[in-house]
Amino acid sequence: MAMKTIDDLNVRGRRILLRADLNVPLDGSRITDDGKIRACMPTLTSLLERDAAVLVCSHLGRPGGAPDPAYSLAPVAARLGELLGRPVPMAADTVGPSAHTAAAALAPGDVLMLENLRFNPGETSKDDVIRGGFADQLASLAELYVGDGFGTVHRRHASVYDVPARLPHAAGYLIQAETAALQRLTRHVARPYMVVLGGAKVADKFPVVGSLIGVADQILIGGGMAFPFLAAQGHDVGLSLLDGDPDTARAFLDQAARSGVELVLPPDMTVAAGRGGTAPAEVVSSTAIPAGRMGLDIGPESAKLFSATLAVARTIFWNGPMGVFELPQYADGTRAVAQALADSDAFTVVGGGDTAAAVRTLGFRDDAFGHVSTGGGASLEYLEGKPLPGLAALEDDGGTG
Ligand code: ADP
Ligand code: MG
């Protein structure tokens, strides 16, 4: 089934609920990477230029279903206003009296930011009735729904999944661009196709390793992802992060060997006694991480090996930093992989909230890559071939739009 886009919607003079993913990294109230806000601008400006009245909604962090000022979207509304060149007013709640009053007062071309969706337990509830009740409230604020929060399309949440069942809907330009780019990793893939995986949410990402064996030609494994594999090979990983299950990693190694896919592990590791950045770092063989040390970055040999391997790829997907890049002394591996992608003629996709933030922090421009995805979990689940609730909900609805 096809997905309507906002180009197919008659939006003039209509009130639109725009579900964006504005879950940006914050340091207190300072936005450390505004990539997700910039990514929603094409859709937002198109709707406003076409005289729609737009209510922007998003989640931010995990406030746990109740209002918490630490997770207010106010800094996001301020940044959105800077990018738009005019202030973006903010409702004090999501579906309460403030939101209703402000929504009713919107004129064509006006924009309003609603407060954090996750201040309401209904947003993420697993109970269809509770979630549906919140979706009813959200839907009552608008006449049309536009889904553009690609980073949350893998979530069966009220604003992602249930509201589009209640309103005529379409996909925004970000979702369109993201799905178009990711499709190039699932159909008619140019080979060799190499995947680089790292990061810290290893257990979450394990399912995609299984489904990529058999699809990718080589899988390069760094960051926190490396340790369960090293442990599966019988090596001591010291105090390193061990998030994924070594038994599962062993099964992946066997599966890869059977299907002729190469899993490339880092031969060396930069280690220290703690991840605070004050303990002195040293480079050791990955097969000899001393007790009392933790691997915090892939080592220089690994960076060289990964770069050389990636140099012959024609398609590259990368998710997960190679080390604790937030500290400059552990950013070299991540920088080397970013540089390898930037130098490559391959079609390159960088996915993952922290990975995208990492390449920007390290000074790479988005246009150094084929595509920088705003979605970590969403892009991985897309590659796994899982049905994504937020995309399914945006498919054509028999012309009610
Ligand atoms: P993404 O958001 O791109 O999917 P993750 O959330 O899985 O990535 O992981 C990002 C985090 O991984 C970063 O904060 C980084 O510090 C951490 N990380 C990378 N390598 C290591 C490591 N060796 N040990 C501990 N944490 C690591
Ligand atoms: Mg992350």
Per-residue pLDDT reduced to its tens digit, 169-220: 999 999 999 999 999 999 889 999 999 999 999 998 999 999 999 899 999 9
Distance in Å, CA 352 to ligand 2 centroid: 6
Atom of ligand 1 nearest to the CA of 204: 7
SS3 category, 146:
strand
- d(C-alpha 138, C-alpha 347), whole Å: 39
From the DSSP assignment, how many helices (H) and strands (E) are in the chain?
A: 14, 16
Distance in Å, CA 239 to ligand 2 centroid: 21
Q: Do 225 and 244 form a contact (C-beta atoms < 8 A)?
A: yes
What are 120's two structure tokens? 């309401």
Q: At what angle do helices 202-212 and 246-259 cross, to 10 degrees?
A: 20
- Say whether pTM exceeds 0.85: yes
Q: Do 11 and 47 form a contact (C-beta atoms < 8 A)?
A: yes
Distance in Å, CA 60 to ligand 2 centroid: 13
Atom of ligand 1 nearest to the CA of 326: 16
Distance in Å, CA 341 to ligand 1 centroid: 19
Q: How far is CA 296 from CA 201, 223, 269, 330, 353, in A?
A: 14, 7, 7, 6, 19
Cis peptide before 321 (omega within 30 of 0): no
Q: Do 156 and 130 form a contact (C-beta atoms < 8 A)?
A: no
The pLDDT value recorded for residue 341 is 98
Q: Do 43 and 18 form a contact (C-beta atoms < 8 A)?
A: yes
Within 8 A by CB and 6+ apart from 359, the residues are 334, 338, 350, 368, 369, 372
Distance in Å, CA 13 to ligand 1 centroid: 44
What are 43's two structure tokens? 């859709």
* DSSP secondary structure of 63-94: --SS--GGG-SHHHHHHHHHHHTS---B-SSS
Residue whose CA is closest, atom 10 of ligand 1? 199
Ligand nearest, relative to CA of residue 375: 1
Ligand nearest, relative to CA of residue 208: 1
The pLDDT value recorded for residue 397 is 62
Q: Do 227 and 199 form a contact (C-beta atoms < 8 A)?
A: no
* DSSP secondary structure of 368-383: GSSEE-S-SHHHHHHH
The pLDDT value recorded for residue 399 is 47
State residue 271 phi and psi, 5-degree precision.
Answer: -125, 160
The pLDDT value recorded for residue 1 is 55
The pLDDT value recorded for residue 377 is 87
Q: Which of 354, 359, 381 to mutate to test the pocket of ligand 1 (most atoms within 8 A of CB)?
A: 354
Q: Do 76 and 101 form a contact (C-beta atoms < 8 A)?
A: no
The pLDDT value recorded for residue 317 is 97
Q: Do 297 and 333 form a contact (C-beta atoms < 8 A)?
A: yes
Ligand nearest, relative to CA of residue 326: 1
The pLDDT value recorded for residue 247 is 96
Distance in Å, CA 20 to ligand 1 centroid: 24
Q: Of the candidates 61, 75, 50, 74, which has an alpha carbon nearest to the alpha carbon of residue 173?
A: 50
List pocket residues of ligand 1, CB cut-off 6 Å. Answer: 198-201, 223-224, 241, 295-296, 319-321, 323-324, 326, 352-355, 376
Within 8 A by CB and 6+ apart from 104, the residues are none
What stretches in the chain show pLDDT beneath 70?
A: 1, 397-401
Q: Of the candidates 373, 307, 317, which has an alpha carbon nearest to the alpha carbon of residue 347?
A: 317
The pLDDT value recorded for residue 69 is 96
- d(C-alpha 401, C-alpha 171), whole Å: 12
Ligand nearest, relative to CA of residue 320: 1
Q: Which of 32, 322, 324 to mutate to test the pocket of ligand 1 (most atoms within 8 A of CB)?
A: 324
Distance in Å, CA 114 to ligand 1 centroid: 31
What are 38's two structure tokens? 């910039």
CB atoms within 10 A of CB 262: 14
